[in-house]
Amino acid sequence: MYNPSISELRKFLESYVAEEPARLNHGGWWRKPLLVSAPVDQRFDVLTEIAMDEHLHPRDLLKTAKSVVVFFIPFVKELIKENRSGKRPCRNWGLAYVETNDLINRAGEAIADFLKTAGYASGLTPATHNFDERRLMARWSHKHLAHLAGLGRFGVHFMLITPAGVCGRFGSLVTEADLGDNPLMDDPEACLLKAGKKCGKCIERCPVNALTENGFDRRKCWDRLNENLHTLDYYADLPSTTHVCGKCNTMLPCSFINPVKQEMFSS
């Protein structure tokens, strides 16, 4: 049976994202996406320890899964700059969140269809809100999967820093196709503070003090996201799942790059 390669999948996703602005009839919010794959091996057994005790295993999505595919769609600099000022997220930050989640869901399905034509089934979950509302933890965490598959490393802000930085959104799927191990990051840390260098700018930036060097108060953060959604007039027409802020990741050392490596991703 024909086995699609990682470069074919990467090109497929790049084209899919590149076509989105024309479909939406505006300039779009996205830079070139990143995509990695990893075999379904014992590394994913730790998900219930590092992410959440009820986290699903890749084989819970598809019993015959051989690979995990995780992708990241980074935002353009203009959007990230726009969200820098003030203590509340801008209108476009919310709109980009909504349109990116929709794009991620469709892109995931398109990748699954692409793999299906080669004879491989896939399993998918939504881009967001697949989590326990009480514990504020995801049962399918794209970020933890991305970490295990070598797409990024967690920063002090509990977001994942990829080779294209932290501002953007993740999607993932599992598939029967044997795609191999294709990470984009093997550095132990991508956060300056975690790598023993000076930073902590994300901690200073949080308007509700939800971040410290060693912890993240999920409840404080979640309350702020809800407050933004329910009090900002310019979010009134956006879906009830538009939980955004972004102040701890816009225009910071890790916004666009892996700051420990100090290299702009350019492949």
Contact residues: ligand SF4, CB under 6 A:
155-157, 191-193, 199-202, 205-206, 208, 210-211, 221, 224, 245, 247-248, 252-254, 259
The secondary element (H helix, E strand) that includes residue 195 is none
As measured in angstroms, the least distance from the Cβ of 252 to ligand SF4 is 4
Q: Which two tokens stand for residue 199?
A: 């930073």
Task: For residue 9, give the nearest of 146, 101, 118 by alpha carbon.
Answer: 118
Least Å distance, CB 266 to ligand SF4, is 20
- The interaxial angle of helices 91-117 and 6-18, nearest 10 deg, is 140
> Is the Cβ of residue 11 or residue 87 nearer to ligand SF4 in the bound state?
87
User: Considering the complex, what minimum distance in angstroms separates the CB of residue 64 from ligand SF4?
Assistant: 37
Residue 75 has phi, psi (to 5 degrees) of -80, 155
Between 98 and 208, whose beta carbon lies closer to ligand SF4? 208
Q: How far is the CB of 265 from ligand SF4 (least distance, A)?
A: 16
Tokens matching residue 118:
């080669």
HSE-up of residue 116 (Cα within 13 Å, Cβ side): 10
Min. distance of Cβ 116 from ligand SF4 in angstroms? 36
Burial of 78 (0-12, 13-18, 19+ CB in 10 A): exposed
Q: Which is nearer to ligand SF4, 117 or 214 (CB)?
A: 214
In the complex with ligand SF4, which residue's Cβ is closer, 44 or 97?
97
Of residues 126 and 200, the one with the C-beta less far from ligand SF4: 200
Sign, CA torsion 228/206/145/119: positive
